[in-house]
Structure 1
Amino acid sequence: MSIGPVQLIVLGFPQPNFHGEIIAELERLRETDTVRVIDALAVHKGTDGEVEVAHLSNLTEDEAIELGSVVGALIGLGIDGEEGMQAGAEAGAMAAAEGGADVFSEEDAWNVLDEIPNGSAAALVLLEHTWAIPLRNAVAAAGGFRIGDGFISPLDLVAVGLVSAEEAAEMHAMETASVGSS
């Protein structure tokens, strides 16, 4: 299986009631072969910090079997609680050892769950950028390699004249709305 560049996006919500338009947009992107949702989790974090998890996905059954619960494994969270997390961690460590891969140390790990505010919800979506496979292959064929990547804040786009200050402020507010402001 050839897999494209993969990105984990964590989207915050004041309540764990995700709307159908998000799933519909992910389906549209899938139909156009722009992205594929490898895995997705809905996380509700109570005011006491207790975490509840539900699986979300638009994968076919065959894809789900092939890819497994990838987001949970990446962030160290199992659908089946601590037992599932332990089993996933052991399987991941074994697969990495067999493949000669280095795994993240605890110091390197991105603790996504800590970033979700208590009393809120999040959707953790692991996307494969299928559109980028030919570009990645062309870069590799030319001897190139990825140095870094990241999203650019709308506020930074004002400086280069791509958006107006008003547009940037609106986009920034949408992207960074806090749980308490809804």
Structure 2
Amino acid sequence: MTDTSLDTLGPVDFLIVEFPAGESSFTGEIAEELVRLVDAGTIRVIDMLILAKDADGSIEALELSDTDDLGPLQSLEAELAELLAEEDVENLAAAMDPGSVAGVLVYENLWAAPFASAARRAGGQLIASERIPMQAIIASLEADAASDVASEQKGK
């Protein structure tokens, strides 16, 4: 990561995937898909953490290097920049429910790097970015479909 020029860096995002207490069923599929995205050149993983929030709210943070059996993630561990600080961990864990475990992923969007570089060279700067939750998209599509059905029924 330190060899990457700022001129060629793509947008960097983070996400937190929470697994509520008693609702996780890890099969290795998540790790395999993440490695597939890296191998395809879609993303570059900058940092990863595993957070556990006890029922009393106390937080334990593990870097990948703190984990014994990384499985497919072993290939990513050596490249991590370990960017997140203790204050970041506290802020990220605030969104978690007590008793849950979460994975935190900080990644560069390599697919968008050429566009981002061109925008910077043209004097542009990102002033807003937001991810739309899948649940909101599904709800919107369902509302549109229900509206279409209602309109069709009115027209009959």
Which TM-score applies when normalising by structure 1? 0.59
Q: Please, which of 71, 88, 94 is the counterpart of residue 75 of structure 1?
A: 88
Which residue of the partner structure matches residue 173 of structure 1? none
Which of the residues 13, 19, 23 maps onto 2:31? 23
Deviation at 1:74, TM superposition (A): 6.4
SS at match of 2:106: strand
CA distance in 1, matches of 2:115, 2:85: 28
5 Å-filtered alignment, 1:5-154, equals 5-15=11-21, 18-56=26-64, 58-59=75-76, 61=78, 63-64=79-80, 67=81, 69-72=82-85, 75-76=88-89, 111-154=91-134
AA in 2 matched with 1:36: R
Relative to structure 1, is the Cα distance of residues 76 and 122 closer, same or farther in structure 2, using a 3 angstrom cutoff?
closer
Q: Partners in 2 of 1:165 and 1:124 — Cα distance?
A: 30
Q: Deviations over 1:96-132 (max 9, x none)?
A: xxxxxxxxxxxxxxx2121111111111111111111
Q: 1:95 corresponds to which residue? A: none
Structure 2: give runs of 5+ residues left out of the alignment: 65-72, 146-156
Q: CA deviation at 1:137?
A: 1.0
Is the CA contact 1:38–1:59 (under 8 Å) kept in the aligned structure 2? no
- Sequence identity, in percent? 33
| Structure ID, larger Rg | 2
Give aligned pairs, total: 127
* Amino acid aligned to 1:165: E
Structure 2 vs 1, CA of residues 136 and 127 (structure 1 numbering), >3 Å: closer, same or farther? same
Give, in whole Å, the separation in 1 of the partners of 2:86 and 2:57: 20
Distance 2:40 2:88 in 1: 29
1:165 to 119, 142, 151: 142
RMSD: 2.8
Q: Aligned partners of 2:12 and 2:26: how far apart in 1?
A: 23
The 3 A distance-change label for structure 1 pair 45 and 158 is closer
* 1:43-75 CA-partner distances (Å, limit 9, x unpaired): 1111011212222355252x23xx2x2124561
Opposite residue 9 of structure 1, the aligned amino acid is L
C-alpha contact (below 8 Å) 1:71/1:125 kept by paired residues: no
How far apart, CA to CA, are the structure 2 residues paired with 1:31 and 1:117? 33
Q: 1:33 to 1:119 in 2, by over 3 A?
A: same
Which structure 1 segments of 5+ residues have no match? 78-110, 169-182
